[in-house]
Chain A
Amino acid sequence: QVQLVESGGGVVQSGKSLRLSCAASGFTFGRFALHWVRQAPGKGLEWVAFISSDGNTEYFADSVKGRFTVSRDNSKNTMYLQMTSVRAEDTAFYYCARDRGHDAPHFMDVWGTGTPVTVSS
């Protein structure tokens, strides 16, 4: 079945780096754009990043712009979120989600189960 599985979360020191992965299965990965969405403890959903199906278009929330990068390897059905210079406010559950389209942000029709990131001081 259609599935997204995140990995790579954990405890990271403030100012350090962490890379999250999102492995997809059950659909033609290279036809869909993808997102990262996060949720701080007890808070709502915050969109983080978007990458188009071919990887040529990327968008970021202002809160992570210049610190996070997003990439994908369509041959491995995997998307990545490289987090650098992490801050306490980056502590959250990170979800990857499939966009319904391929080239511009829309809504998210498939979600992974998420991976937790905790930034420690």
Chain B
Amino acid sequence: EIVLTQLPGTLSLSPGERATLSCRASQSVRSSYLAWYQQKHGQAPRLLVYGASSRATDIPDRFSGSGSGTDFTLTISRLEPEDFAVYYCQQYGNTPPLTFGQGTKVEIK
């Protein structure tokens, strides 16, 4: 089973700043099959990125994903007020099981 570790646990930033979220896998993720989701309080998760770097439908271009192997990054170029939320990475290259990281909370500084 691939374990995903997300760092940092909490990121305190101001609107307009750049956010860099890390997701590290315990072993190489096949074909960069890694996705990112955003979850706002009291809501279901929303797909942001799949295949490590492909944005999902209707996702603003301030969200970008990168990485391969064991190290992946989600970058939010300029934080908007609606971007403050919890972000999860998920691997689907070595399944079952599907695994999620423990999440990174992006909070307002």
Residue total for B at the interface (Cβ-Cβ under 8 A): 24
Binds A, one of B15-23, B68-76, B77-85, B90-98: B90-98
A-facing mask of B49-75, CB < 8 A → 1, else 0? 010000011000000000000000000
The residues of B with any CB-CB pair to A shorter than 8 Å are 33, 35, 37, 39, 43-47, 50, 56-57, 88, 90, 92, 95-103
Q: Which residues of B contact A108 (CB under 8 A)?
A: 35, 37, 45, 47, 90
B35 and A107 within 8 A (CB): yes
Instruction: With CB as the reference atom, state the residue of chain A lying closest to B96.
Output: A59
The residues of A with any CB-CB pair to B shorter than 8 Å are 35, 37, 44-47, 50, 59-62, 95, 97, 100, 104-109, 111-114
Instruction: With CB as the reference atom, state the residue of chain B lying closest to A4.
Output: B44
Question: Which secondary structure dominates where chain A touches chain B?
Answer: strand
Q: Which residues of A contact B43 (CB under 8 A)?
A: 113
B95 and A105 within 8 A (CB): yes
Complex: A113 Cα to B45 Cα, angstroms? 9
Question: Which secondary structure dominates where chain B touches chain A?
Answer: loop
B44 and A113 within 8 A (CB): yes
Q: Which residues of B contact A37 (CB under 8 A)?
A: 45
Output the least CB separation between B19 and chain A (Å).
18
Instruction: With CB as the reference atom, state the residue of chain B lying closest to A107.
Output: B35
Complex: A38 Cα to B34 Cα, angstroms? 19
B101 and A62 within 8 A (CB): no
* 23 A-B pairs with C-beta separation under 8 A: A44-B100, A44-B101, A45-B39, A45-B90, A45-B100, A45-B103, A47-B97, A47-B98, A47-B100, A50-B96, A60-B96, A62-B97, A95-B44, A105-B92, A105-B96, A105-B98, A106-B33, A107-B33, A107-B50, A107-B90, A108-B37, A108-B47, A113-B43
